Chain A
Amino acid sequence: MSVLSPAVVAAVDDLELAARVVVDGLRVGGHRSPFHGYGAEFQQHRPYRAGDDLKYLDWKVYARSNRLYTRQFRETTNVAVMLVIDTSASMAYPLATSGISPLTKFRYASIVAASLAYLASEQGNAVGLMSMTGEAMAYLPARSGRAHLRALIARIDGFVPADAWQPGLVIGRAAELLQRRGLLVVLSDFYDDESGTQRELRHVVQRGHDVAMLQIISREERELVFNEQTELEDLETGIRLLVEPATAAAAHRDAMTQFLERCRVFALHEGIDYGMFDTSEAPERALRDYLVRRATQR
């Protein structure tokens, strides 16, 4: 199954990946521009100042009121979308043998990312990709076009979650490579380097980018669903810990809830769009809900 399944496409096709903050884009597109430029949509009048192009002088107003006004238009642009995908080993959960949730978190993130890329591309936006495979960055510059979208989806499909990643580095680099202000979407469980991630995300927001945190969590890791003494092995570090669910489950659930709440509150404070995805939900449904909610928050 490709990461871009028809079911998901059908579910989100009529929606748009709306930019929540005003971003500047290259071309005339679906997003508002901070600049009063020369677009199609009239926005306001302002008093004429010397040097204004006489072409935009509103002669009808002058005829009525004998005052000089310059017509201003709202410039609309496209936006560059940069997808940042967490390829750390912790995303490879639940493990493939499980019968209940066939999607690992990474697979889920891939589907969501591919759908967003498709959506953005359909709207004429440029889509880029930033991730980390092993020690090396995996970067695809933000471009538009179907060929680029295909390459990008193939790239996402080829990722295999392994090892750890450095979220601060990847996010910072992705923001740098977005030359213009754009939309940065981070798909991760945000387990690694919490403070570094937050610091870097804050920087990105301060540089004017629209940032979205899509946190992908599975039900199995939120609740310890096993019922006997188990030795848990960290997927990334390989460290083992003997756990007795009877005593550890409650504490783990509390810690997990606190962590998720921390992420949410941080996003709220920094003006970051936050979305929580549970892998037990169907991705198309969750993504649609997220996009609708995001559009209404604009």
Chain B
Amino acid sequence: MRWLNPWALLGLLAVALPVFVHLFSRRQARVMRFPTLQFLTTSRLLPARRTRLSDVPLLALRIAVVALAAIALAQPTCFGGSAAPSPTSGIARAIIVPADPVPGGVSTARLAPLEPAITRLEDSSNSSLRIPAVEPREALSGAVAWLRAQPGLGEIVIVGDRLRDALDSADIAGIPADIGVAFRPGAAAQGDSAAQLMMFRGRVVWLTDASPAIADAVRRSVQQVGAGASAGASAGASAGASAGASDVRVVTLQGEYADTIRALTSDTIPTIIVASTAVGALARFTPARRAAPWDPWMATALLTIAQDTTLASTAPGVLARTDGRIDGRTGTGADMRTNAAADSIFGASVVVLARTTSGTPIIVAAATRDDDGPPQLFIISRAPATHVHTAALLLAATSVFAQPTSTASTVDTTSSARGAAWRALQRAPSLRTSVNALALVDVESPASRGRYVWVAVLLLLGVEWLVRRYSAWRSAAATPSGER
């Protein structure tokens, strides 16, 4: 069982409260008047009076109510632990580690600091298998197959940021539900491109000719599903109002692109710029300077977008991925540096992410890094065929910037949550209803069973009330000559 909010388990200490109240309340006995005391002797008082049978169920109920409330606050993700990687030893782990040193990637030498942690993982497992992999997608299927052969619970541990970044939400969603997935960050060494990427927060700008309503739907989709889930909405063309770094802003393009982008100052909020036509937007897309050679973060961002199978599957038939150079399975940041700069529009290095079957580019991405401004990732497209498609695109881009830093939590719970959200998104029949459906996806506590525990708490409170009424009624019936 995993807890989204383990500190709330400290609330279990509160079970002492009903016990305390039970022991120390009503200490004064009831006074009853009696004809004569000559046949009574002072009786030995029983301190354990309150453990008598009439009180024990009530006390147990109250303890249960408090304990369950604490558990509900801790937000258990699942019960029984069948789908949960638990820290017990009865678990089989497939540990996927980066294999070959790649240029600019994580080398074996950089993996060395992780070795104690991996060994510890192996020691705490019932059985473990270390899978060296360059491309984690293939390793995943092997890991799943091996875990299927193992008894008990299974868990896949993916070590290193590069392997994690190479996976997308569809991969995670493809792992069977009863196998846990855990991510171990790579070593936070200086100069590690992955580590730098983790800490980077740049700006994503999406130029489109969509209507503001669709743009707003996309923005909300991204907020619901993706990295911007926690931020509040800030819609409209108010460029100056920044609600937070992970918000998504919708701006109507006015005048030249450069004027608009300048008005956005230097914040890093992902921005959807709505133009009258995409062609016009493209015509006005004149970055101030040419893009520098691919930075690692740009390469990874573009690769993430290009490799997201969810993106491709959202609009089958319309999109055809024709750019074989970034479609390559072995594509890394280093490959991107050499291969991706083939196309160019108005001199800027761009990547055509999707074309129509006739070859016309639909989605174009470009990345720049000004010397003084924040890094920027530009995505230019026609009005999206579906908002799902566009949201997938934006999400893929923004998720690059919203990854936790390498020193953050070791268990990535957002991946599976995102996978579930994506699946919900793809089932959505239309724009309007799917946006509503998205709102129902509980992104913050994805698999929390807390609500069921709360229901149990309410039920127990009802039972407690009944028992209290019953015992009061019974004690009233048993002492007919009570004090008035």
Contacts and interface: CB of A to CB of B under 8 A. Distances in A.
Interface of A: 90-91, 93-101, 105, 189, 191, 218, 220-221, 225-237, 239-244, 246-248, 251-252, 255-256, 259
A221 B479 CA distance: 12
Nearest to B49: A229
Interface residues of B, number: 28
B480 interface: yes
B264 to A, nearest CB: 74
A235 B35 contact: yes
Q: Which of A227, A228, A237 has the most CB of B within 10 A?
A: A228
Contacts of A231: 28-32
A255 to B, nearest CB: 4
B478 A221 contact: no
Given A95-B484, A97-B484, A191-B35, A227 B479 contact: yes
B38 interface: yes
B481 A94 contact: yes
Given A95-B484, A97-B484, A233-B32, A241 B40 contact: yes
A259 B479 CA distance: 24
16 contacts: A98-B480, A98-B482, A99-B480, A105-B35, A221-B36, A228-B29, A229-B29, A230-B30, A230-B31, A232-B31, A232-B34, A234-B36, A242-B29, A244-B46, A248-B40, A251-B43
Given A234-B34, A241-B37, A248-B41, A227 B480 contact: no
A241 B42 contact: yes
A202 B42 CA distance: 33
Contacts of A234: 33-37
Contact of A232 (B32, B46, B475, B478): B32
A205 to B, nearest CB: 25
Contacts of A247: 43-44, 46
Given A229-B45, A251-B41, A256-B39, 13 more contacts: A94-B481, A95-B33, A98-B481, A226-B30, A226-B481, A232-B40, A234-B33, A235-B34, A236-B36, A240-B31, A246-B46, A251-B40, A252-B39
Contact of B482 (A97, A241, A243): A97
B30 A101 contact: no
Q: Which of B32, B41, B49, B54 has the most CB of A within 10 A?
A: B32
A222 to B, nearest CB: 9
A281 to B, nearest CB: 16
A189 B479 contact: no
Contacts of B30: 226, 228, 230-231
A246 to B, nearest CB: 6
